[in-house]
Structure 1
Amino acid sequence: MPPPSTPAPTPAPDLPARALDTTPENPWPVRLLSSKIEDYVSRMSPLWVEGQVVELNRRPGAGLQFMTLRDTDADMSLTVAMSTHVLAGHGDDVAPGAHVVVHARPGFWPRRGTLQLQAREIRAVGLGELLARIEHLRRVLAAEGLFDHDRKKPLPFLPGTVGLVCGRESKAEHDVVVNARERWPQVRFEIREVAVQGPSAVPQVSAAIAELDARPDVDVIVVARGGGAVEDLLPFSNETLVRAAAACSTPLVSAIGHETDAPLLDLVADYRASTPTDAARRIVPDVREERRGVALARERLRSAVRTRVDREQAGLDAFRSRPVLADPVTMIDRHEELVAHHLRMARRAFGDRVTAASAQVDRLAAQVRALSPAATLARGYAVVHGPDGHVVRRPDEVSVDDRLRLRLADGELTATVTAPAPGTAPPPTPKSKDRTTRTKGTRP
């Protein structure tokens, strides 16, 4: 039922008409502010609102029933009042933890200064609808790339500190811690016990992940919860929680429920463990297996070194057994003989080449001497040069009284032409152009 309306008090003439005009010297009284809030809220229209029921006290025989409706993503809640007949038709469908949508009108109670919803109709959100919403959210987040494989971070081989987010004194915490320490006793844990179901699960788990992610000593974070009904695992498919896990820079392991359970946190986590026990086996190695592996590796290494040494020793023995190593001078002697042989061959070839070249030079020198004019002169011949120095080849090329130069083999002689050679005509006397030239051209 709506709260009883209170007549709005008439502001005193000296009070401000608007809240903006109030001052420390001239404030509004509480009754005036409450009446204005009531007037504002009363003008709001009825609406449908969704949330999770966290408190519901059914009071038999009472005309009004009250419950607390809380947001599934944030720590916010409202009180809802409804008549008994509105709640009567739902039985156990509307109970603490149930998701509901309520058609209500906001109402303000000025005497207590509280705001609550006056429910006119209430509907429980069925499991099928919740699963359909999760599937739609899965497609949206997948389209954003939050589930891509290239976003997955590798888990450390041996984490120094493991961050564990789990329920208070839960079986999941026992499974992770006990199995991890059985495999590696020195592993350290930073445990954050939070609500893992109900309306407080989303903010508490998200805050725990953010806190552990901010610690530099935490190498991997495990979010673990045991099995349960689908409704109990709904917080791990909440968009706020999934985005908080996606923003985590530390490798994150999801170990929610059993192997058949698949909340959205499994898809965004860097590794999805089928159970909390499987998470413990994945985050730390088995010390016994690692020691066995180290021992096996050492034995293989020792065997490989031994085999290599034996093979190299056998090679050295084979080299040492060769004749050349028994008497190393043998190899040098053979090369020395080869060098001496090539040296003899080179000297012989060089001598033959020099002898042949010398004979060829002598032959060419004889040919030059035979063809030389000096050889002809040595046989008694002479070269006659006329007055102008040219070589005289015919008698008619000289005249009487011309001085001739005779070149002999061992010197030169000078001769004068006294008479023309028999059978040759005297050379003609050149004609003068004038008397003076003609007189000078006559011979004595």
Structure 2
Amino acid sequence: MTSAQTSRPGGPPSAQTSNSAENPWPVRSVSTKVAQWIDRLGSIWVEGQITQINVRPGTRTAFLVLRDASADMSLSVTCSPTLVRDSPVPLTEGSRVVMFGKLSYYTGRGTISLRVTEIRAVGIGELLARIERLRALLNAEGLFDPRLKRPLPFLPRTVGLITGRASAAERDVLSVAGTRWPAVRFEVRNTAVQGPTATAQIVAALGELDENPEVDVIVLARGGGSVEDLLPFSDETLCRAIAKCTTPVVSAIGHEPDNPLCDHVADVRAATPTDAAKRVVPDAGAEQALVSEFRSRGAAALRNWVAREARSLADLRSRPVLADPLAAVERRAEDVDRLRAAGRRDVTRLLDGQATVVEHLAARLTTLGPAATLARGYAVVQKMVPGADPEVLRFVDDAPPGTQLRVRVGDGAVIAAVMGRDKSGEKK
């Protein structure tokens, strides 16, 4: 391609031509390239929720808006009006569908639309199957673990309420909670509770209430409805937002048989909005009655305790040891006197016996002693030694003539001197 061709006012720029401020691409070239790139995508299947249907009589094109059920994103759709009118399942705003078509970029307006040739409504069975798959996924990740459930405060300062505007669920929660505890305060956030915008609005309100330090518990309430109506409360985005909340969340969606996934993720599942109001605030009348009952039971328990202790004291006082405390002493005194008398008798008897023994021993001692011998005519001869005690004279040789002697007899002693010695003794 020549330089003249690349710079021709009506022709597209060459791929080799550098794009710069001096060599800008015209809008038509950019639009053409975008259209070419989008055209390469080919035909695709797209799932979403119909939020707008515009089929004008006499026109050859029907215009629809397909919205993502979990995000605030939408896509323009065009198709034949016959495709909408002849659908096996009537298509209405809010219907979940799967469409087959090809994206087109309109260079004149710079817009993208999906030109579809087939529309399939997502049936209840398919929706329930998807919910079950999501249920299994969240359960495997531990979002349903009972150990993660947080207890509700006994008396919350402020209750956050997310529900539809002027709905029966809102009236039930506010009226029942106000009747049970008149001083209760609410932070109400009205959002869509069904349809394509419900999930995004509920998640936003949930985050706002969770960040409010005055809110101690959040109630997510909605009345009953069909499976399609309750689909936003089984949305993965909402379930994960509930799991991330630091404030306890109560799920009160539908009636008792309804069981959206948010019931499993929430800290407490309430069967109905009325049940949720009963769970988040106590009943003032019931609490007052309970306090009165506790006071009555406490007073009765105290009276019973006092009566029981009084009976115990009376039993103790009626015992002989306390009724007549000196009786035991008197009985013991008699025992002491008796034991003392017995002790005296035993001691006297022992002394008398020992006195008799002493007398016998004394008599024997008297009989065997030297005094009795001397009384019978014997004498004890002692040699007098100057400067020492007298010594008993046992041998004749120990008393030479002139030795001074002391002769002890029965009634005294005489002093004598040895005149001589005679060893014959009694042999003569």
* Post-superposition CA distance 1:252-293 (Å, at most 9, x none): 211111222221222222222221111111221211111111
Gaps of at least 5 residues in structure 2 are 1-8, 348-356, 358-390, 393-428
> Residue type matched to 1:277 in 2?
T
**Residue of structure 2 in register with 1:155 after alignment:** 152
CA distance in 1 between partners of 2:236 and 2:329 (Å):
87
Once structures 1 and 2 are overlaid, which stretch shifts more, 158-167 or 321-330?
321-330
Asked if the contact 1:179/1:281 (under 8 Å) is kept, the reply is yes
1:235-250 maps to which residues of 2 (within 5 A)? Answer: 235-250=232-247
In the other structure, the counterpart of 1:362 is none
Match of 2:13 among 11, 26, 33: 11
Give the superposed CA RMSD.
3.6
Distance in 2 (CA, whole Å) between partners of 1:173 and 1:277 is 9
Change (3 A) 1:9 1:256: farther
Structure 1 residues 8 and 58 mapped into 2: Cα distance closer, same or farther (>3 Å)?
A: farther
Separation (CA, whole Å) in 2 of partners of 1:209 and 1:320: 71
> Alignment partner for residue 100 of structure 1, among 97, 122, 144?
97
Structure 1 residue 182 displacement after superposition: 0.4
Q: Distance in 2 between matches of 1:130 and 1:200?
A: 18
Distance 1:349 1:165, change over 3 A: farther
What is aligned with 1:40? Answer: 37
1:169 matches 2:166: yes
SS in 2 for 1:116: strand
Q: Normalised by the size of structure 2, how large is the TM-score?
A: 0.72
State the Cα deviation string for residues 208-255 of structure 1 (Å, max 9, x = none): 222222223222211111112221111111122222222223222111
Distance 1:138 1:339, change over 3 A: farther
Residues in 2 aligned to 1:13 and 1:329: alpha-carbon distance in whole angstroms: 129
Q: Where does structure 1 lack aligned partners over 5 or more consecutive residues? A: 1-6, 351-358, 360-408, 411-444
- Counterpart for residue 208 of structure 1: 205
Task: Report the number of matched residues.
Answer: 354
Query: Does 2:223 match 1:226?
Result: yes
Aligned to 1:416: none
Alpha-carbon deviations, 1:329-366, whole Å to 9, x = none?
Answer: 6666777888999999999999xxxxxxxx9xxxxxxx
> Structure 1 residues 330 and 254 mapped into 2: Cα distance closer, same or farther (>3 Å)?
same
Alignment of 1:258-407 (within 5 A): 258-322=255-319, 324-325=321-322
> Equivalent residue of 2:215, what SS?
coil
Aligned counterparts of 1:29 and 1:142: Cα–Cα separation in 2: 54
8 A contact 1:101–1:124 mirrored in 2? yes
Question: Matched residue of 1:80: which SS?
Answer: strand
Q: Deviations over 1:367-396 (max 9, x none)?
A: xxxxxxxxxxxxxxxxxxxxxxxxxxxxxx
Give the alignment of 1:401-420 within 5 angstroms: none
1:119 aligns with 2:116: yes
Q: Which moved further from structure 2: 294-303 or 207-216?
A: 207-216
- Cα 1:320–1:221 change in 2 (3 A) is same
Give 1:154 deviation, angstroms: 2.2
TM-score when normalising by structure 1:
0.70
User: Would the aligned equivalents of 2:89 and 2:121 in 1 still touch at CA under 8 Å?
Assistant: no
Q: Structure 1 residues 331 and 261 mapped into 2: Cα distance closer, same or farther (>3 Å)?
A: same
Which residue of 2 is the match for residue 138 of structure 1? 135
Question: Would you identify which runs of 4 or more consecutive aligned residues in structure 1 move more than 6 Å?
Answer: 12-15, 332-350
Cα distance 1:343–1:201, how it changes in 2: closer, same or farther (>3 A)?
Answer: farther
Pick which of 186-195 and 151-160 moved more. Answer: 151-160
Identity rate of aligned residues, in percent?
A: 52
Cα drift, residue 104 of structure 1: 1.4
Measured in 1, the distance between the counterparts of 2:167 and 2:26 equals 52
Any idea what SS the aligned residue of 1:191 has? strand
Q: Which amino acid aligns with 1:47?
A: I
